[in-house]
Amino acid sequence: MTAHAKIQDGRRDFDFLKGRWTVLHRRLTLRGASSDDWDEFSGTSCCQTLMGGLCNVDENDMPARGFQGLTFRTFNIERREWSIYWVNSTAGVLQEPVFGRFEDGVGRFYGVDVDNGRPVKVIYIWTDITPQSAHWAQAFSYDAGRSWEVNWTMEFARAE
Protein backbone atom coordinates (compact mmCIF):
# COMPACT_ATOMS: atom_id res chain seq x y z
CA MET A 1 0.00 0.00 0.00
CA THR A 2 1.38 3.39 -0.95
CA ALA A 3 1.42 6.41 1.35
CA HIS A 4 -1.19 8.03 -0.92
CA ALA A 5 -3.61 5.13 -0.42
CA LYS A 6 -3.64 5.75 3.36
CA ILE A 7 -4.69 9.40 3.05
CA GLN A 8 -8.41 9.87 3.72
CA ASP A 9 -8.94 13.54 2.86
CA GLY A 10 -11.17 13.00 -0.20
CA ARG A 11 -8.51 12.63 -2.88
CA ARG A 12 -9.49 8.96 -3.36
CA ASP A 13 -13.22 9.69 -3.79
CA PHE A 14 -13.20 8.94 -7.51
CA ASP A 15 -11.19 5.70 -7.22
CA PHE A 16 -14.43 3.79 -7.80
CA LEU A 17 -14.45 5.12 -11.38
CA LYS A 18 -11.06 3.66 -12.38
CA GLY A 19 -11.21 1.27 -15.30
CA ARG A 20 -13.57 0.55 -18.17
CA TRP A 21 -17.32 1.00 -18.16
CA THR A 22 -20.31 0.60 -20.43
CA VAL A 23 -22.67 3.53 -20.08
CA LEU A 24 -26.38 3.99 -20.76
CA HIS A 25 -27.03 7.68 -21.46
CA ARG A 26 -30.40 9.40 -21.19
CA ARG A 27 -30.49 13.00 -22.36
CA LEU A 28 -33.45 15.37 -22.60
CA THR A 29 -34.05 16.34 -26.21
CA LEU A 30 -35.21 19.84 -25.17
CA ARG A 31 -33.93 21.43 -21.96
CA GLY A 32 -35.65 24.14 -19.96
CA ALA A 33 -39.03 23.55 -21.58
CA SER A 34 -40.70 21.03 -19.23
CA SER A 35 -40.08 18.30 -21.81
CA ASP A 36 -40.25 14.60 -20.99
CA ASP A 37 -38.78 13.42 -24.31
CA TRP A 38 -35.56 11.53 -23.66
CA ASP A 39 -32.88 10.39 -26.11
CA GLU A 40 -31.35 7.10 -24.93
CA PHE A 41 -28.06 5.72 -26.26
CA SER A 42 -25.08 3.65 -25.17
CA GLY A 43 -21.43 4.48 -24.83
CA THR A 44 -18.22 3.59 -23.06
CA SER A 45 -15.99 5.28 -20.52
CA CYS A 46 -12.44 4.67 -19.38
CA CYS A 47 -11.03 6.39 -16.28
CA GLN A 48 -7.47 6.66 -15.03
CA THR A 49 -6.26 8.19 -11.75
CA LEU A 50 -3.10 10.30 -11.65
CA MET A 51 -0.79 11.75 -9.01
CA GLY A 52 -1.89 9.41 -6.22
CA GLY A 53 -5.56 10.25 -6.69
CA LEU A 54 -5.21 14.04 -6.82
CA CYS A 55 -6.30 13.99 -10.46
CA ASN A 56 -8.19 11.69 -12.75
CA VAL A 57 -9.27 11.74 -16.34
CA ASP A 58 -11.93 9.81 -18.19
CA GLU A 59 -12.74 9.59 -21.87
CA ASN A 60 -16.34 9.00 -22.86
CA ASP A 61 -17.13 7.63 -26.29
CA MET A 62 -20.66 8.01 -27.64
CA PRO A 63 -20.45 6.51 -31.15
CA ALA A 64 -24.22 6.41 -31.61
CA ARG A 65 -24.25 10.23 -31.39
CA GLY A 66 -20.89 10.78 -33.12
CA PHE A 67 -19.00 12.55 -30.35
CA GLN A 68 -16.67 12.06 -27.41
CA GLY A 69 -16.11 13.85 -24.15
CA LEU A 70 -13.30 14.10 -21.66
CA THR A 71 -13.56 14.85 -17.96
CA PHE A 72 -10.57 16.12 -15.99
CA ARG A 73 -10.87 16.26 -12.19
CA THR A 74 -8.45 17.83 -9.72
CA PHE A 75 -8.53 17.69 -5.93
CA ASN A 76 -7.69 20.82 -3.91
CA ILE A 77 -5.98 19.45 -0.80
CA GLU A 78 -6.43 22.59 1.30
CA ARG A 79 -10.14 23.00 0.53
CA ARG A 80 -10.81 19.24 0.29
CA GLU A 81 -12.80 19.99 -2.82
CA TRP A 82 -12.91 18.65 -6.37
CA SER A 83 -12.88 20.76 -9.52
CA ILE A 84 -14.40 19.00 -12.54
CA TYR A 85 -13.74 20.18 -16.10
CA TRP A 86 -15.45 18.91 -19.27
CA VAL A 87 -14.60 19.18 -22.96
CA ASN A 88 -16.40 17.52 -25.86
CA SER A 89 -15.36 16.75 -29.41
CA THR A 90 -18.19 18.85 -30.83
CA ALA A 91 -16.82 22.19 -29.60
CA GLY A 92 -13.33 21.34 -28.31
CA VAL A 93 -13.71 23.99 -25.59
CA LEU A 94 -12.86 23.38 -21.95
CA GLN A 95 -15.99 24.36 -20.03
CA GLU A 96 -16.12 26.19 -16.71
CA PRO A 97 -15.59 23.77 -13.81
CA VAL A 98 -18.03 22.57 -11.22
CA PHE A 99 -16.87 22.29 -7.60
CA GLY A 100 -17.82 20.00 -4.75
CA ARG A 101 -17.22 16.87 -2.72
CA PHE A 102 -18.64 13.57 -1.58
CA GLU A 103 -20.61 13.38 1.66
CA ASP A 104 -22.29 10.21 2.91
CA GLY A 105 -21.56 8.42 -0.38
CA VAL A 106 -23.12 11.11 -2.61
CA GLY A 107 -21.06 13.50 -4.71
CA ARG A 108 -22.48 16.97 -5.41
CA PHE A 109 -20.68 19.43 -7.67
CA TYR A 110 -22.01 22.91 -8.48
CA GLY A 111 -21.15 25.50 -11.11
CA VAL A 112 -22.47 27.86 -13.74
CA ASP A 113 -23.03 27.31 -17.45
CA VAL A 114 -24.90 28.72 -20.42
CA ASP A 115 -27.68 26.75 -22.12
CA ASN A 116 -28.74 28.07 -25.54
CA GLY A 117 -27.72 31.57 -24.51
CA ARG A 118 -29.38 31.40 -21.08
CA PRO A 119 -27.24 31.45 -17.94
CA VAL A 120 -27.89 28.42 -15.74
CA LYS A 121 -26.68 26.91 -12.53
CA VAL A 122 -25.53 23.33 -12.96
CA ILE A 123 -25.13 20.39 -10.61
CA TYR A 124 -23.52 17.00 -11.17
CA ILE A 125 -24.62 14.28 -8.75
CA TRP A 126 -22.98 10.87 -8.23
CA THR A 127 -25.11 8.25 -6.41
CA ASP A 128 -25.63 4.49 -6.09
CA ILE A 129 -21.91 3.77 -6.23
CA THR A 130 -20.85 0.12 -6.01
CA PRO A 131 -17.77 -1.71 -7.33
CA GLN A 132 -19.81 -2.70 -10.40
CA SER A 133 -22.06 0.30 -11.03
CA ALA A 134 -22.65 4.00 -10.48
CA HIS A 135 -25.21 6.66 -11.40
CA TRP A 136 -24.43 10.20 -12.59
CA ALA A 137 -26.94 12.97 -13.26
CA GLN A 138 -26.72 16.56 -14.47
CA ALA A 139 -29.39 19.14 -13.72
CA PHE A 140 -29.80 22.79 -14.67
CA SER A 141 -31.53 25.57 -12.76
CA TYR A 142 -32.91 28.46 -14.78
CA ASP A 143 -34.15 30.28 -11.66
CA ALA A 144 -30.98 30.74 -9.56
CA GLY A 145 -31.28 27.36 -7.84
CA ARG A 146 -34.92 27.44 -6.71
CA SER A 147 -35.78 24.48 -8.97
CA TRP A 148 -33.75 21.95 -10.93
CA GLU A 149 -34.36 20.01 -14.14
CA VAL A 150 -32.41 16.79 -14.63
CA ASN A 151 -31.35 16.79 -18.29
CA TRP A 152 -28.73 14.01 -18.58
CA THR A 153 -28.18 10.75 -16.71
CA MET A 154 -25.55 8.07 -17.09
CA GLU A 155 -25.84 4.52 -15.74
CA PHE A 156 -22.35 3.00 -15.42
CA ALA A 157 -21.82 -0.78 -15.50
CA ARG A 158 -18.33 -2.20 -15.04
CA ALA A 159 -16.96 -3.68 -18.26
CA GLU A 160 -15.16 -6.96 -17.65
Domain residue limits, the chain: 3-158
CA 108 to each of CA 37, 62, 84, 90, 96: distance values in angstroms, whole numbers, following the listed order:
25, 24, 11, 26, 16
pLDDT at residue 1, rounded to an integer: 46
pLDDT per residue as tens digits for the range 32-56: 888 899 999 999 999 999 998 899 9
CA 13 to each of CA 49, 57, 131: distance values in angstroms, whole numbers, following the listed order:
11, 13, 13
pLDDT at residue 6, rounded to an integer: 62
CATH topology of domain 3-158: Lipocalin (2.40.128)
pLDDT at residue 5, rounded to an integer: 52
Taking residue 81's Cβ as centre, other Cβ atoms within 10 Å add up to 14
Which residues of the chain, if any, have pLDDT below 50? 1, 4
